[in-house]
Structure 1
Amino acid sequence: MLPIIAALGLISTAAAHGTVNAIVVDGTYYQGYNPSYQYITPAPVTVGWKIPQDLGNTFIPPDSYGSPDIICHLGATNAMTAAATKGGSKINLQWTPWPVSHKGPVIDYLANCNGPCETVDKASLKWFKISAVGLIDNSMSNGYWATDQLIKNNNTWTVQIPTSIATGNYVLRHEIIGLHAAGQPNGAQNYPQCVNLAITSSGTDNPAGVPATSFYKATDPGIKFDLYSAFTSYTIPGPAKYSGALSVSQTMPAPPAATATGVYSV
């Protein structure tokens, strides 16, 4: 897990959207990855996958859905450690400030690394969907979306690990899709973020999953979508949700009770 790193105070805190800067698992805080960490020696050890090319907090467009960048973001490489997690654990993912204009769904996937996630080939990961929230209320202009709920809860989203999956080392792929320009071709904006989890569980399921490069097509109704039209519904893109997925209420999370130290795996 993570050391407490005094050098974090040197990193710019300028507001920007696009990255998960921390996660909290059952009250324990784990540092996520910040692209600025590439300028720190030694670099912080984080549960978040490294995306040093994402200095501009950019996105993955539909014409890159077949690229490895859609897996865990731009040029992503493996995280160096994992967060200790249990089947049934609730994970709060803390985003950098998210713009209210960037409305869209929040989607979560898991992939079993079948070994250490610190060295797994990301292209070999097979993902199954454990959470997906899109349009919550269409009674207001442009709708009330999962991203609006995330902003309301201090830029935080909660996902619960299924109790039915087997013990193992997993990558959690957490993603926002911004729809503010999705009415035009190649306009959707995908912001995938990955973190390593070492999950202990009484379950036995090993869902098959699919590669992230097969999740979406540019013509999917949840990708090519006019946010400013008179819509009444929204179809969340990607594969069907895993049968053992758990729903969780999105509420303001409590402050973390502890900060992780050391390195953990199962």
Structure 2
Amino acid sequence: MKSHFAALALPALVAAHGHVDKVIADGVTYTGWNAALKYQTPIPPTVGWQADNLDNGFVTPDRFGSVDIVCHKLGKSNGASVPVKPGSKVTFKWDTWPISHAGPVIEYIAPVAGDFASVNPASLSWTKIQQAAWKSGSNPGAWATDDLVKNAFSWDLVIPNLAPGNYVLRHEIIALHAGGQPNGAQAYPQCINIVVSGSGTTKLSGGVPATSFYKATDPGIQFNLFQKFEGYTIPGPPLVKLAKREERGHAREFA
């Protein structure tokens, strides 16, 4: 039985925010997660984790220390995975994203010791591998989310030179349009399962649990877009530079 599941034609959710309903890897499109799927019997397997976000809701800063922040509310693996290899381009395709919801876009990865069905989200140890946020200007300025919107609600990640195995990718937008007030930031974590093949050599270590990523008072979380500012501190653990896929025997690093 194949471990991945190609995208289905699904009804769109009507809401102001968004979710990753498609994942594209090496030219193949897979079903991410659309909470309307929970009303199908049986629920079809998807590469995107199930989550209780029928309203396209978000995780608030007062829940950043809870399991909600790992892979969204009631997040759990949903049976399918995306086959990739070092150097594969993975595209997270949102159904929509409002231009007003500016903020950072961040990717993390966690190794999975066994099969995806037995993954406990609270036990995953994450490494931050890509991040983008403020670009220029202020009030509100130009942000990575502007690029996502301009790119038809898509965001790309190149798989680094990872050793073969099962992993969870965590792609997240933190919307800051209400971040100037306490508990106003909005986190939208989206998780997908990937199976890495090939001859990559990087084994992840030193990761941290998602419940330790952010605090409500972090300068990159409680942040007022609608003022004059000259910088922005991306929240979360340090970015780890992982080698890209090996080419002619030489591993290259991400910039």
- TM-score with structure 2 length normalisation? 0.90
**Deviation for aligned residue 1:162:** 1.2
Match of 1:180 among 177, 180, 183: 177
Counterparts of 1:73 and 1:150 in 2: how far apart (Å)?
Answer: 20
Supply the AA of the counterpart residue of 1:183: G
Counterparts of 1:198 and 1:136 in 2: how far apart (Å)?
Answer: 33
Task: Give yes or no for the alignment of 1:155 onto 2:115.
Answer: no
**Deviation for aligned residue 1:237:** 0.4
Is contact 2:123–2:209 with CA below 8 Å preserved after alignment?
yes
Counterparts of 1:160 and 1:207 in 2: how far apart (Å)?
Answer: 19
Task: Give yes or no for the alignment of 1:198 onto 2:195.
Answer: yes
Supply the AA of the counterpart residue of 1:136: K
Task: Give yes or no for the alignment of 1:241 onto 2:244.
Answer: no
Supply the AA of the counterpart residue of 2:78: A
Supply the AA of the counterpart residue of 2:58: F
* Structure 1 gaps, min length 5: 250-266
Q: Deviations 1:216-239 (Å, cap 9, x if unpaired)?
A: 011111001010110111110000
Counterparts of 2:174 and 2:87 in 1: how far apart (Å)?
Answer: 26
**Deviation for aligned residue 1:117:** 2.0
**Deviation for aligned residue 1:43:** 2.0
Note the aligned Cα RMSD (angstroms): 1.8
Specify the alignment match of 1:100 in structure 2.
Answer: 99
Specify the alignment match of 2:250 in structure 1.
Answer: none
Specify the alignment match of 2:249 in structure 1.
Answer: none
Q: How does 1:62-81 map to 2 (within 5 A)?
A: 62-81=61-80
SS in 2 for 1:118: helix
Specify the alignment match of 2:21 in structure 1.
Answer: 21
SS in 2 for 1:71: helix
Counterparts of 2:67 and 2:15 in 1: how far apart (Å)?
Answer: 27
Specify the alignment match of 1:225 in structure 2.
Answer: 223
SS in 1 for 2:110: strand
Is contact 1:47–1:83 with CA below 8 Å preserved after alignment?
yes
Size of the aligned set, in residue pairs, is 243
Residue identity (%)? 47
Structure 2 CA distance for partners of 1:59 and 1:15, relative to 1, 3 Å = closer
**Deviation for aligned residue 1:209:** 0.5
Q: How does 1:79-94 map to 2 (within 5 A)?
A: 79-94=78-93
Structure 2 CA distance for partners of 1:59 and 1:244, relative to 1, 3 Å = same
Q: Deviations 1:3-25 (Å, cap 9, x if unpaired)?
A: 564xx35x245464231001100
- Larger relative CO (CA 8 A, sep 6+): 1 or 2? 1
Is contact 1:22–1:30 with CA below 8 Å preserved after alignment?
yes
Is contact 2:179–2:221 with CA below 8 Å preserved after alignment?
yes
Structure 2 CA distance for partners of 1:4 and 1:133, relative to 1, 3 Å = closer
